[in-house]
Amino acid sequence: MAQGMAFRGHDESSTSINKGNFREMVDWVKSKNEQVRDAFDRGEKNCIMTSGDIQKDLAMSCAHEVTK
């Protein structure tokens, strides 16, 4: 990231105290927005939509929307 902040955490498991900036942000948004929570929780346990590639795609989509 441009600010030198780590995007991904060392331990991104569901029991981790600090999952990294991306996972912590997703958890916060899920707690505030029912549609986001439903979208993330709809899949199977092995489909958590947080792989490195998906994180990059979601971040790029957000950046695109912000700069529009």
Distance in angstroms (rounded) separating the CA atoms of residues 48 and 60: 18
Count Cβ atoms within 10 A of the Cβ of residue 9 and give its class: 0-12 exposed, 13-18 middle, 19 or more buried: middle
Side chain identity at 44, as an amino acid letter?
A: E
Distance in angstroms (rounded) separating the CA atoms of residues 52 and 27: 16
**pLDDT tens per residue across all 68 residues of the chain:** 455 566 666 666 777 777 777 788 888 889 999 998 888 888 777 676 777 788 788 888 888 999 99
